[in-house]
Amino acid sequence: MRKEHDFLGEMEIPDEVYYGVQTMRAMENFHITGEHLDKDFIIAVATVKKAAALANMETGRLDPGIGNVLVQAATEVMQGKFIDQFPVDPIQGGAGTSVNMNMNEVLCNRALEIMGKPKGRYDIVSPNNHANMAQSTNDVFPTSIKVCIIMKSKGLLRALRRLTDELEVKSEEYKDIVKMGRTHLQDAVPITLGQEMGSYASAVRRSIHRIERAIEGVHTINMGGTAVGTGLNAEPKYIQSVARQLSALTGEMFITARNLIDMTNNTDAFADFSGSMKATALVLIKMANDFRLMASGPRCGLNELKLPPRQPGSSIMPGKVNPVMAEVLDQTCYQVIGNDIAISLGVENGQFELNVMEPVMAFNLFNSMRYLTNAVNAFVDNLLINLEPNREQCAYWLDHSVGIITALLPHIGYEQSSMLAKEAYMSGRPVKEIILEKGLLTQEQIEYILSPAEMTQPGIAGAKLLHTDQGNHIEHHKKISGEFY
């Protein structure tokens, strides 16, 4: 054991560990989640510390003999070493001070070890005087959150792009499968399964753009603002240098906020990013629920999609298979939405020059990113790639639907179409059969009007065939409609 002290008193620390007295106090005080700090976040904090040490050496304030060993220690943490030396709970009081001091102590004790000195010799390399030079938890912690968001966003965006790509593949594969479109959960008008898949791809692509815009906002940092954003104990040259050093280390363009006080006490950038994930979650829930409905049955539901069977669905009903991958995507998205509420409450609860609720924001942001990334990848791998359409069932519902009557409106009028719909509902007979029986249209006309190309694109279905004398006008109308859509 070794003895370390702070202004509250002395504590005994196991000599093999790299953390120190302030970390030990946090371990005693905060037993909240039972979880560890996110590994990427630990790496992000080490990256910020390395940038700060390089900037302080550049200004001449930090002795290179100390600065270089701190840089070496930070580099090792960035490489994934000593991750087990960060035992503090992610949710903690103190606005992240425990995380900041945990890192400072680990870096200093590793630096002392590199120098051949015993751990705890903070008179040689100090967690406060050296590792924390020109810094405060109040600029280090939020900046580290932003670095970690950017790190994790790459995996999230990659997963969402995979989803978009696979949906677009399905859109092309299913472009000729005409099915019944539905509004209000009732039969509407025909649509192709490919068009539905394309609409999901479009919505996910929009979600990607929304996340990318939010990421732009976390490239603005408050390093050098120190305690309240006034820059106390930080040299102007350091403030310019630390953003440049951080950019070089991460390959991202970090810029110093014009108003460091604002950037220190406002955390709306985190709400913006969390909101982009929430909106994405809403898009994914809608899509997943559509898949569940289209795959319902299979004997007594819509049965338009065949989901890959992934596990037995019941402990009592033999042969039952459930849409588990769509269900787990839904549940993950619910959690992301719940996390967004916690983040929102944290963001609005800042007072004066600091928002002390950043630990709960970080915890939920990182969890949301990890959960969403994993769930989207699982949905693509275990459902979407091996998804199969039920072409026969799609055709059956289409043939037995009254919704196709809408395509007949320009040719037989609303009143006649309504009578057809009523008779079809009452008799249960296919619409095509009734039309032919009444002699309203020929077989050729029906097939043309109700063809996939005619029913699922802008324009008046069958107009060219039925109104050849107006052909030029109709073709012009369809051309303009096509360009608009």
Could you give the residue numbers annotated as active site?
314
Q: What is the residue-wise DSSP string for 398-466?
A: HHT-SGGGGGGHHHH-HHHHHHHHHHHHHH---HHHHHHHHTSS-HHHHHHHTSHHHHTSSS-TTHHHH
Q: How far apart are CA 292 and CA 324, in angstroms?
A: 9
- Secondary structure (3-state) at 119: coil
Name the one residue in this structure whose structure tokens are 């059969």. 433
Q: Which of 319, 277, 315 is nearest to 298 (CA)?
A: 319
Q: How far apart are CA 373 and CA 375, in angstroms?
A: 6
Q: How many CB atoms lie within 10 A of CB 419?
A: 15
Residues in the chain: 485
- Secondary structure (3-state) at 230: coil
Percentages helix, strand, coil for the chain, rounded to the nearest 5? 60, 5, 30
Q: Which residues contact 166 (CB under 8 A, 6 or more apart)?
A: 380, 384, 385
Q: How far apart are CA 352 and CA 294, in angstroms?
A: 52
Q: How far apart are CA 22 and CA 142, in angstroms?
A: 20
Is cis: bond before 236, omega within 30 of 0?
Answer: no
Q: How far apart are CA 205 and CA 210, in angstroms?
A: 9
The alpha-carbon radius of gyration of the chain (Å, integer) is 31
The answer to whether 93 and 29 are in contact (CB under 8 A) is yes
Q: State both tokens at 400.
A: 């037995």
- Secondary structure (3-state) at 11: strand
